[in-house]
Amino acid sequence: MKNLKNFPVKKKNVLLRVDLNVPVIDGVITDRSRLYIIKATVDKLRSNKNKIFLLSHFGRPKGKFSENLSMKFLTSVLEEVLLINKIYFLSRCFGNEVNATKNIMQPGDVCLLENVRFHKGEEQNNLNFARDLADSYNIYVNDAFSASHRQHASIVGVTNYLPSLAGISFINEIENLDKILFNTRKPTTAIIGGSKISTKLILLNNLIEISDNIIIGGAMAHTFLLAQGNNIGKSLVEKDLISDAISILEKSKKFNTNIILPIDFFCSTSIDDSNNIKKVDYKNILPDQMALDIGDKTIKLIKEVIMESNTVLWNGPLGVYEHKPFDYATNTIVDIIKQNAKISNITTIAGGGDTIAAIRKAKAEKDFTYISTAGGAFLQWLEGKESPGIKALKENDFS
């Protein structure tokens, strides 16, 4: 697959697909990570005197213009993040306005295009729309790994009309995720949390084949415990997936993978009741109680497993992270990794919104080997699937 590390791009008009779909609360960007990770690609293209047009989606406008989902507010923020004095902004993402601006831009200049999802053709992967997107450029660069699990025009369709290659952060993401899938240092431990098995069935089935240990936390664990015949009180559970949980447990034996479930919990009568929290072993959950976080005995067990591992993958919180004090276990595991991973030479890779939030809260970003901001694309890669965006780049046969 051609990429900016092995394929020179100089003095071209470049359509650069990035992911600027940043979280915004009350008009304030709460996480700029996706802005910073494109800097290496932008800098490389600027140093080679290309004219760069940034294309991204923002929110879910469903093919219609929405003023509150315009990309325009990002112009000044990108100037600050990318250390550029002036970034042009266009109210459309293709057409005459692009061509006119291209003519006044100087080599190394950057232009931000309007939200590509304002057009229905984007999510439909309409080839006519893709051709319109490609029309003004010499080359296409995809630096939006986090959006490349989508079969969209700006990810897939446009590669039919332009020489196409991967950006620097795109390649970095693949290389780091491949450390887990193909070049892992054994023993490998996966920590998988979250509320539903249904969203991570394929992931668990794939990880069983490559991991030595899989630690399951969050409400996902309740379904496994129920499948083993344990009482779980009023805890969140997916009863219709009990057979799937049993199948995963049986498959783990076949591959000699150690599945580790919680052995104790912090329980209460509801998420909002923080005054009557009980610490109980997994066999002693009362009928009116909900398991809301894993307990100290389980945390101790997880620490022991981490310290015996050379590679640790983490996706998903271990309790009801968004409700204090049930963020305790997740925060404690972050601290364990923060204190021990580098000293013990443990490769640590993390992904998922709540997991990353916990890592940032603890100021532990530098203590992890790699943190993926790719969301659904991160999970798809770990499921062993090749994303549409990667496939499109590999199949691009323009010279």
Residue written as token pair 């779980």? 232
C-alpha–C-alpha distance, residues 21 and 61, integer Å = 12
Closest CA to 387 of 85, 39, 152, 150: 150
Tell me if 325 sits within 8 A of 295, measured CB to CB: no
Is 300 in contact with 247 (CB distance < 8 Å)?
Answer: no
Q: Which two tokens stand for residue 181?
A: 């899938």
CA-CA-CA-CA torsion sign (275, 279, 285, 286):
negative
CA 364 to mean position of chain CA atoms: 17
Whole-number Å distance between alpha carbons of 189 and 310: 8
196 is catalytic: yes
Which is the catalytic residue, given 44, 179, 196, 251?
Answer: 196
C-alpha distances (whole Å) from 184 to each of 173, 180, 194 are 15, 5, 24
Helical axes 39-47 vs 168-181, angle rounded to 10°:
130
Q: How many CA atoms lie within 13 Å of 391's alpha carbon, on the beta-carbon side? A: 11
In the structure, how many helices (H) and strands (E) does the chain have?
Answer: 15, 17
Determine the Cα–Cα distance for residues 283 and 295; give it in Å rounded to an integer: 13
Residue 142: partners with Cβ closer than 8 Å, 6 or more residues away? 17, 148, 155, 164, 165, 166, 167, 170, 389, 393
Pick the catalytic residue from 2, 12, 17, 34: 34
Which one of the listed residues 360, 376, 384, 391 is annotated catalytic? 376
- Tokens 């062993």 -> residue: 384
DSSP label at residue 116: G
DSSP notation for 274-320:
-SS-EEEEGGG--TT-EEEEE-HHHHHHHHHHHHT-SEEEEES-SS-
Cα separation of 179 and 187, whole Å? 13
Q: Catalytic annotation on 295? A: no
Instruction: Give the Cα separation of 250 and 256 in Å (integer).
Output: 10
**Catalytic-residue membership of 389:** no
User: Exactly one of 59, 108, 353, 384 is catalytic; which is it?
Assistant: 353
Indicate if 353 belongs to the active site: yes
Active centre residues (catalytic): 34, 196, 353, 376
